Amino acid sequence: MRLTELFAELRREKRPAFIPYLMAGDPTADATVAMLVMLRTVGADIVEVGIPYGDPLADGPTIAAAGQRALAHGGGVAQTLDIIAKASPASPPIVVFSYFNPLLQYGFERFAREAKRAGAVGVIVPDVILEEAHSLQSALAAEGLDMPLLVAPTTAKARAARICAQATGFVYVVSRLGVTGAGSTPDFTPLHDQISRLREVTTMPLAVGFGVSNVGHVKDVAAHADGIIVGSALIDAYAKSAPEDAVAAVQAFVTPLIAASRA
Amino acid sequence: MKPDARGYFGAFGGRYVPEVLVAALEELEAAVDLAFADAAFWAEYHRILGEFVGRPSPIYATTRYAHDVSAAPLVLKREDLNHTGAHKINNTVGQALLARRMGKKRLIAETGAGQHGVASAVVGAKFGFPVDVYMGALDVERQALNVYIMQLLGATVHPVTGGTQTLKDATNEAFRVWAAQVEETFYVIGSVVGAHPYPYMVREFQRVIGDEARAQCLERYGRLPSDVIACVGGGSNAMGIFAGFVDDPSVRLWGVEAGGDGLETPRTAAALGAGSVGVLHGSRSYLLQTAQGQVRDTHSISAGLDYPGVGPEHAYLKDSGRATYVPITDTQALEAFHEFARCEGIIPALESAHAIAFARNLAAERGPDDLILVNLSGRGDKDLAQIRAL
């Protein structure tokens, strides 16, 4: 199913998409596969699967450390595609999250072809802006893969309109200044204004990420957005447990969040 | 040359950053365009370089070094005589003036060995900006004296514990901090790297080296140099001196990279010599990386050259053939360091020792009608503890 159809269906159900983020290969490749399958059984709507990268400019310490752990045991583009291929028949729709350089080295056409074959539906690249997105986006589009683009609190309205017009699947709304991470409690009041302003320039689904980490945040964001992305807090939930307990830890963490997103 | 509207020198440069930084880069680009067209801005910059930094730095013909192999005059551009002992301060003065003009409240900077951190702390003190310096935790240990100097000057040094705990991770962290406090913070990048307009802006703040040297060569020798040599890590001292000569087709430009243990080994920092095209820290250039696109660990005896990337304009000059890039190993640089100190009474920075080592090799192929200009980018005091311990 294409992402736009999925969001249209959720809109009819009057609820936002719940979108957890996993780091491919952390704590192990098998655990990532098991988490992806589990996430469908508990009702996640889409999953972002991160390709580990050693220099993640847009990520805070939690996701950076998860990436380092995954790289230490063979993580990267090839392992991520392998994980997606194993999990995708039984997982929610998968959107790959990758920094630009690993995709550039893999080759855009080759990556698009193999990501499609593995069962992914889209690709998000946090260090590619509107002006640099074209060549990758065309390669992905040729395989029917979406490429959501990001808007930030600093993005001016006219630029946001251009980003929303070029994004496919959905628009990733960065909730605050800075990088990913649970950390301090965000004040979502400016976010609500940001979403209202975006609604004036686009009908694209708007999914919110960065700093969304508990039931209260999910309820707050769910009232305004079409999607809720939870990453660092999910990784924090299993990072201290043994690898064999990680799937259960993630399940225990996301279950109340999913319920909150549907309340 | 000026990069194109999207910040490219040919196929290199651009903006590969999180969207949150785009507004700040556009604001900076607009401020750069206005300031660079304003004679009063440049007048103040040159006044400060004169009174505070000690410019113009002289050119100076060596009296003994390499004279055994060549009759070609070997002329040094003495950036080692600048306040703080290197070329880095030309850039931080310029960026601090811009930050003040833009109404920014604080400066942040990344640093590897600490030279750019010190140069940033100096202008912070001079202009009254709070300065936060991000430095890999390993470098904080290895460069304790520079950490102390930055603190003495009132800057706060933040050890970065992620990744390899060196310059590339310090740069990642500075970008992250900038993203969180982008509206009131000016990010002072230390080399001709980063997203547009940084590579262009930093080059324009370093071109004073090449502009002065060109006029000095014409005045003293009545001709242009046949060859211009500079070491290249990120590449700011090299872009600075090259900028004075890039439009003179008779002048051969040589960038000397840190070969480390050798280009055929994994222990090197020669991004142009041993790397491939990729994206790091906001721009497309050459990069030492794995087949899977992960940035590789690098090695050089010189902390200031130990960086996996290189400025995008160097990538352009390499591919267009306008400049040639050559490696010098740790061993060759150390030999030149000692030889040069004994022959000239000048202790060069280990970075500059790479350029000096190559100059001797090149001099052997040149004659009395040639003129070799070497950028002596910094003095070696900062390296003495390391060299003494070898």
Report chain A's mean pLDDT, rounded to a whole number.
95
pLDDT tens-digit series, residues B355-367:
999 999 999 999 9
Write out the two tokens for B219.
Answer: 């005045």
Identify the three-state secondary structure at position A207.
strand
C-alpha closest to that of B196 among B204, B185, B184: B204
A196 touching B, CB under 8 A?
Answer: no
For residue A186, the model assigns a pLDDT of: 66
Whether the pLDDT of residue B308 is over 80: the answer is: yes
Nearest CA in chain A to B281: A57
Nearest CA in chain B to A56: B172
Domains of chain A: 3-261 (3.20.20.70)
Taking CB atoms and an 8 Å limit, are B293 and A60 in contact across chains? Answer: no
Q: Give the gap in angstroms from C-alpha A182 to the nearest C-alpha of chain B.
A: 14
Q: Give the gap in angstroms from C-alpha B146 to the nearest C-alpha of chain A.
A: 25
Nearest CA in chain A to B173: A57
Please state whether beta strands B227-232 and B185-188 pair in parallel, antiparallel, or not at all (unpaired).
Answer: unpaired
| List of chain B residues whose C-beta atoms are within 8 Å of the C-beta of residue A60 | 176
Q: Give the gap in angstroms from C-alpha B276 to the nearest C-alpha of chain A.
A: 9
- Taking the C-alpha atoms of residue A41 and residue B94, their distance in angstroms, rounded to an integer, is 58
Nearest CA in chain B to A156: B23
Identify the three-state secondary structure at position B234.
coil
- Taking the C-alpha atoms of residue B239 and residue B192, their distance in angstroms, rounded to an integer, is 8
Neighbours of B61 (CB within 10 A): 12
Whether the pLDDT of residue B342 is over 90: the answer is: yes
How would residue A183 be classed by pLDDT, with cut points 50, 70 and 90?
low
Whether the pLDDT of residue A187 is over 80: the answer is: no
ipTM: 0.96
Q: How far is CA A216 from CA A173, A221, A222, A225, A232, in A?
A: 18, 9, 10, 14, 16
| List of chain B residues whose C-beta atoms are within 8 Å of the C-beta of residue A76 | 292-294
Taking CB atoms and an 8 Å limit, are B162 and A105 in contact across chains? Answer: no
Write out the two tokens for B270.
Answer: 């020669």
Identify the three-state secondary structure at position A31.
helix
Taking CB atoms and an 8 Å limit, are A60 and B6 in contact across chains? Answer: no
A152 touching B, CB under 8 A?
Answer: yes
Nearest 5°: CA angle at A91, between A88 and A92?
110
- Residue identified by tokens 């299993």 is A238
Catalytic site residue from B77, B79, B88, B236? B88
- DSSP symbol at B309: B
Residue B88 bears catalytic tag: yes
A100 touching B, CB under 8 A?
Answer: yes
Identify the three-state secondary structure at position B323.
strand
pLDDT tens-digit series, residues B165-211:
889 999 999 999 999 999 999 999 999 999 999 999 999 999 999 99
Neighbours of B71 (CB within 10 A): 11
Catalytic site residue from B110, B204, B313, B344? B110
Taking CB atoms and an 8 Å limit, are A105 and B180 in contact across chains? Answer: no
The whole-number average pLDDT for the span A35-51 is: 98
Whether the pLDDT of residue A9 is over 70: the answer is: yes
Report chain B's mean pLDDT, rounded to a whole number.
97
Q: What are the strands of the beta sheet with B252-260, ordered from one edge?
A: B59-61, B74-78, B372-376, B227-232, B252-260, B323-329
Give this prediction's pTM: 0.97
Identify the three-state secondary structure at position B210.
helix
DSSP string, A219-254: HHHHTT-SEEEE-HHHHHHHHTS-GGGHHHHHHHHH
Residue B110 bears catalytic tag: yes
Whether the pLDDT of residue A190 is over 90: the answer is: no
| List of chain B residues whose C-beta atoms are within 8 Å of the C-beta of residue A129 | 15-17, 19, 22
